Amino acid sequence: MLGGKTVPERVRARPRLFVTLTAPSFGRVHRATDGEQCRPRRDRGECAHGRPLGCGTVHPTAASLVGQPLCPDCYDYVAHALWHAHAGKLWDRFVIGVRRHLASSVGIPQSRFPEHARLSFARVAEYQQRAAVHVHAVVRLDGPAGAADEPPPWGTASRLTDAVRASAYRVVVRTPYSPAVGELALRWGTQVDARPLHADGLGPSDEAVAAYVAKYVTKGASETGAGTDHRLTAWQDIDSAALTDHVRTLMRTCWRLGGLPEYAPLHLRAWAHTLGYRGHILTKSRAYSTTYAALRADRAEHQGHGESGADTVTDAQWRYVGSGHTPGAALIAAGIADDLARSRESARDELQERGGRP
């Protein structure tokens, strides 16, 4: 069971992969290496800004320096922010690429692929220590009717794995041209992991993957130190945020880029608190599992002890009535205000009698 109702036992042999897609490298950062040196180098070279190209320190996982750039001036903050802003489009292109590769590998016209199979997925986004988003997803190949339909005979785990890897390496999204930035070609990182899921103990189990994915559902940018849980309304909000210099620089980059007309559709200032990433933490395809509407109906029925739940009040039924004091509270507030006014008037009179300046 993952993101919905349990899939019947008879369909558990269908090809399913646990896929991890990473962000590319935007610059060298400090890393935790389990007892080894961070970035050892035999030569003690320096970058163009006079900072060391390597780091011989052994960083524990929780060290504050882990994920921070070795040289902030060499780090490509513009590409990092724009990659986050286009991560959703990269995922869409990736899914389309998987379908196309599957269709071409078995000689099916791409337009007729939905007549033979359906690609379903559930994915979750995770902020890494370098403040870059990685994507973890369960990708499944179903029959044309969805989760209740068996996949075609050619739909094997190995063929799905090949399609996932091929699509991840080929996908590219180009940013709008900007006189200040130019045009960037955005891709997934080189680290692509695709592992088959098995229910017989030969690979990661459903329960293990569900627990792993669920861990990130409640983790947003603020929990990982890669942003805040509220939107920024002014440039000054970035300086007051209790974040690392690396994250604040990413926020400032989003704010600056958001002021350029060519990037207006990306709404980078509105999403500066998440470092430009505009997607949801958890998303799934329509046919992956039960719908959220069905889950809400089941919850309402459960809370109604078997009733239909039609009379259950939900958030959508609330409306704004008004604000302010109740009649009793208004009298109390008026009395307090009157007492304060009298106290200020008495203080001024006393100062005047003493020759002071009111």
3-state SS, one letter per residue, for the chain: CCCCCCCCHHHCCCCEEEEEECCCCCCCECCCCCCCCCECCCCCCECCCCCECCECCCCCCCCCCCCCECCCCCCCHHHHHHHHHCHHHHHHHHHHHHHHHHHHHCCCCHHHHHHCCEEEEEEEEEECCCCCEEEEEEEEEEECCECCCCCCCCCCHHHHHHHHHHHHHHCCEECCCECCCECCEECCCCCEEEEECCCCCCCCCHHHHHHHHHHHHCCCCCCCCCCCCCCCCCHHHHHHCCCCHHHHHHHHHHHHHHCCHHHHHHCCCCCHHHCCCCCCCEEECCCCCCCHHHHHHHHHHHHCCCCCCCCCCCHHHCCCCCCCCCHHHHHHHHHHHHHHHHHHHHHHHHHHHCCCCC
Q: Is 317 exposed, middle or buried (0-12, 13-18, 19+ CB in 10 A)?
A: exposed
Quick one: pLDDT at residue 242? 86
Which pTM value belongs to this model?
A: 0.76
Q: What is the mean pLDDT of the chain?
A: 84
Length of the chain: 358
pLDDT surpassing 50 at residue 10: no
Average pLDDT over residues 14-30: 92
The number of beta carbons lying within 10 Å of the beta carbon of residue 214 is 13
Q: How remote is the C-alpha of 43 from its chain's centroid?
A: 38
Quick one: pLDDT at residue 3? 42
Quick one: pLDDT at residue 338? 83
Q: What is the pLDDT of residues 158-205, one digit of tens each?
A: 999 999 999 999 999 999 999 999 999 999 999 999 998 875 555 555
pLDDT surpassing 50 at residue 335: yes
pLDDT surpassing 80 at residue 139: yes
Q: How confident is the model at residue 9 (pLDDT cuts 50, 70, 90)?
A: very low
pLDDT surpassing 90 at residue 6: no
321 CB-near residues (< 8 Å, 6+ apart): none
Domain ranges of the chain: 9-26+76-288
